[in-house]
Amino acid sequence: MATDANCIFCKIVAGAIPSFKLYEDSATFAFLDINPGNPGHALVIPKAHAVNLYASDDKDLAAVMATVRKVATAVEKTVTPDGLNLLQANGPGAAQSVFHFHMHILPRRLGDELKMNWGLKPGDKAELAALAEKIRANL
């Protein structure tokens, strides 16, 4: 399994840095975010190091999503939020701060004022169609 000796999340998995562990299996590790947006804000990571989504192995991504569902269900039962966001960032432009693939489980409250929403602004349908065609060509 790939690890990075300088990665804070790899150090958490190894037990070199303490965490508020929620769940662990052979492929994933889940823990509370120490800078929570709201109570119950958790992170799920693959144990195998990959800097982002693009570098991640499909089996690790599948394992992470299964753990996300399990932990999100427990968070929902525990803090009974009004909703829940799943957030994953890739690169500095998306505000990725730890370069080890991870998913945020972020409980939400109505009126919590967390700024992740970009508002609704209809896109140009012709531009959307052209862009969809270009993206499909790259799949």
Q: What residues act catalytically?
A: 102
Which tokens in the block code for residue 95?
A: 């505000």
Rounded Cα distance, 5 and 14, in Å: 10
Between CA 119 and CA 101 the distance in angstroms is: 26
DSSP state of 123: P
Rg (CA), the chain: 17
Instruction: Output phi, psi for 73, to 5 deg.
Output: -65, -45
Q: Exposed, middle or buried by CB within 10 Å (0-12, 13-18, 19+), for 4? A: middle
